[in-house]
Amino acid sequence: MITLDAHLAAGRGRDAAALGALVRAMAAAGVKIADELARAALIGQLGTTGETNVQGEKVKKLDVWANDAVVAALDATGRACTLVSEEMEEIRHRPEQCAGAGFVVCFDPVDGSSNLDVNGTVGTIFSLRPSRGWDPAGPAALGSGKEQIAAGYVMYGPATTLVYTAGSGTHGFTMDRATGEFFLTHPDIRIPKKGKVYGINEGNISTWHPGQRAFVEYLRTPDKASGRPYSLRYSGAMVADVHRTLLDGGLFMYPADMRDPAKPKGKLRLLYEVAPMAMVVEQAGGRASTGTERVLDVKASEYHQRAAIIVGSPDDVALAEEFYRR
C-alpha cells in the first residue's frame, strides 16, 4: 500500500517539496493528537482551562494542547511563514520562514470541540496558501479560496484518517496505530452525484433564510421518484459530517443566521473550516456554496471571518441554490 510520504513525494510542481513537508507536519501533529485524545480522560486532559476566548467560548484544554502540537510540527518544517489558527487571536508571522516557498497555513486544531468531553469524533482542518508577495498586514491579500494550493483534514474516529487535496483529486489515508504511518486507503475519492442524507443543526431553523427552510422541508417530504425523504445525520463535528458526505454523498450545511437579513451571520470560519472543506469536496467532484455564491469565490476581510456553507453532492448543492433563488 502507498504511504502518505510516497504519495507526497510523487507530487509535481515547483512548491511540491515544501507542500509535502507541511502536509507531513499536519500528519505528524495528527498522530500526536490522536494519541492524546485516546488518553485524555486518564491524564486529566478533558474539560476547560478556565479561560474564555475572544468569542466568549470556554477554552478546552485539548484545544490549547492541540494548537501547540500543530504549531510545533509546522515550525519544524521551516516553511510556515504565517499561521492563522482558530486558537490564536493574532496571526503568527515568522519572516525567517518566508524565503522561497513559504506558506500561509490556516488551521483549526480541534474542530468539533463540543464532542471532546463525550468521546465523540473530532478533527483537525488545514489549508495552505502561498505566501509569495503576501502582505502580512492584511487578510484581504489572502484572496479567495481559489488561492489555496492544498487543503485537508485529519479525523479522529474509530480510525485516524487523513484526507487531503493538492489540486489534483482528493485522497484518503488511514493511520496504522502501531507505527503512526498513514496508508492510502481511499485513492481519488469521487463524491456521489446525488445523496440520500443531509446534515444540519435543525435547532436553528427559526434563524434560516426562507430558501433554506423550504429546501430542508423538501428533503423531508416523501417522494419515491426523487429518493425522498433524505435521512438526517449530524455529529456536531464538521470534519465527521463532511467526511461522511464525501464518501456517501448528500449534504452538510451550516447556513447563515438570517434574523437580521441585512447582516447574515455564518458560524463556521472561512479560512480554516469553510474554504478548505470546499476545496476538498470540489476536488472530489462535489460543490460548496454559501447558498448564493461559490464558497471558493469568497474573499476574507478578517482572519477569523465566518461564512455559511452548503457542501456535498453536486446535484444536491445545485438544488439548494435553486431554493435560495426562488
Q: Closest Cα partner for 250 from 227, 277, 268?
A: 227
180 makes contact with ligand FDP (CB under 6 A): no
Size of the site for ligand FDP (CB under 6 A): 11
Stretch touching ligand FDP by CB under 6 A, among 2-10, 112-120, 141-149, 207-215: 112-120
CB of 237 to ligand FDP, least distance (A): 5
Q: Is 120 in the site for ligand FDP (CB under 6 A)?
A: no
Rg (CA), the chain: 19
Q: Which of 67, 113, 160, 313 binds ligand FDP (CB under 6 A)?
A: 113
Least Å distance between CB 247 and ligand FDP?
17
Piece of the chain touching ligand FDP by CB under 6 A; list 106-114, 139-147, 180-188, 300-308: 106-114
User: Alpha helix (H) ranges present in the chain?
Assistant: 4-9, 16-39, 61-75, 210-220, 238-248, 275-282, 314-325
Tell me if 111 contacts ligand FDP by CB under 6 A: yes
Q: Which has the closest alpha carbon to 70: 128, 39, 109, 106?
A: 109
Task: Confirm or reject binding of residue 321 to ligand FDP (CB under 6 A).
Answer: no
Phi, psi for 118 (deg, rounded to 5): -120, 20
Distance of alpha carbon 127 from alpha carbon 108, whole angstroms: 9
Pick the piece of the chain touching ligand FDP (CB under 6 A) from 16-24, 46-54, 232-240, 317-325.
Answer: 232-240
Nearest-approach distance from CB 246 to ligand FDP, in angstroms:
14
Q: State how far the Cα of 22 lies from the Cα of 188, in Å rounded to an integer.
A: 20
Q: How far apart are CA 290 and CA 223, in angstroms?
A: 26
Helix 16-39 crosses helix 61-75 at what angle (to 10 degrees)?
150
Provide, rounded to whole angstroms, the least separation between the CB of residue 102 and ligand FDP.
27
Q: Does 236 bind ligand FDP (CB under 6 A)?
A: yes
Using CB under 6 A as the criterion, which residues of the chain lie in contact with ligand FDP when the complex forms? 111-114, 201, 236-238, 267-268, 273
